[in-house]
Amino acid sequence: MTERRELLAAATAQLRAAGVASPEHDAAELLAHVLGTSRSHLALVDVVTPSTAEEYAGLVDRRARREPLQHLTGVAWFRHVELAVGPGVFVPRPETELLAGWAIERAAEGSVVVDLCTGSGAIAKAVKDEVPGAEVHAVELDESAYAWAERNLAGTGVDLRQGDFATAFDDLAGTVDVITCNPPYVPLEAWESVAPEARDHDPHLALFSGADGLDAIRVLEHRAGVLLRPGGVVGFEHADVQGESAPAVFAGSGRWVDVRDHRDLAGRPRHTTARLAR
């Protein structure tokens, strides 16, 4: 038998040495996972059996090699919903919850909401969860990511389709009230600066978007103009260095009003919103 505190201390030190950003949190989450409990209940555990300690050590080793925590536990929480995640799908980030919250505040009973580049289905599932009367649609191109979205959105009432967001939802043209999108936005030249958890484990289709990182946002600007009703709104995430260049894509087209950029909880530019001119 090994003491819980001893296990946690060793795992935390290993993860810190490996450059993991939140070693205490991740060490505790992994231990709670192998014990089948929650992090808040770990204090009730005094000792850990050898077999459990061995399983735990294996997961800590993988996390130290920078496998995403959520791939190891198989679960990611996003606002009030639980998502199944793993290899082949972008792990939703806490920053994106702000974009989802913006959409939820603007959706109402009967609103038509479209989530482009849905990935795991995180935003679409959160909107449907918090605004159950909304008509929610989502699209994903990548086959692996689509399979995860299909799993996460099963039974929710969200209309999920597989396809390219540049051409999706012709049947909804001119009728959509709210569009959300977490597009790829990393410049190809920024490869080395991307955290290993994302660079080595998230699908590249969800990360990289041309030389300046704005290619998908330019496509979004055009597609949102087709899908939204006059006065409808669009919100999309971008990199923190794109606080001026991303909104400029919309402001420069002449089709949009109320183009605004928004900061995340760390004060960094994170998402842009705009309204289609009437």
Alpha-carbon distance of 173 to 204, in angstroms, equals 29
* pTM: predicted TM-score of the whole model, two decimal places: 0.85
54 against 187, higher pLDDT? 54
Q: Decide the pairing of beta strands 75-78 and 135-140.
A: unpaired
Question: Tokens 């999309």 identify what position?
Answer: 236
Helices (H) and strands (E) in the chain, counts: 10, 11
pLDDT tens-digit map of 11-63: 999 999 999 989 999 999 999 999 999 888 998 888 899 999 999 999 999 99
Residue 199 has pLDDT above 80, yes or no: no
Residue 96 has pLDDT above 90, yes or no: yes
Q: What is the average pLDDT across 119-127?
A: 97
Q: What is the average pLDDT across 142-165?
A: 96
pLDDT tens-digit map of 221-272: 999 999 999 999 999 999 888 889 999 999 999 999 999 999 998 999 999 9
Residue 187's pLDDT band, with cuts at 50, 70 and 90, is low
Q: What is the average pLDDT across 71-87?
A: 94
Task: For the chain, list the domains and their CATH numbers.
Answer: 2-65 (1.10.8.10), 79-276 (3.40.50.150)
14 against 198, higher pLDDT? 14
> For residue 108, which of 178, 181, 180 has the smallest C-alpha distance?
178
Conformational region of residue 160, where left means phi above 0, alpha means psi within -120 to 50, and beta covers everything else: beta
Residue 209's pLDDT band, with cuts at 50, 70 and 90, is very low
Q: Which two tokens stand for residue 102?
A: 């913006």
- pLDDT at residue 146, rounded to an integer: 96
- pLDDT at residue 100, rounded to an integer: 98
- What H or E segment, with its residue span, contains residue 196? helix 196-199
The end-to-end CA distance of the chain, in Å, is 69
Residue 192's pLDDT band, with cuts at 50, 70 and 90, is very low
222 against 203, higher pLDDT? 222
Percentage of the chain with pLDDT > 70? 90
- The answer to whether 56 and 26 have CB atoms below 8 angstroms apart is no
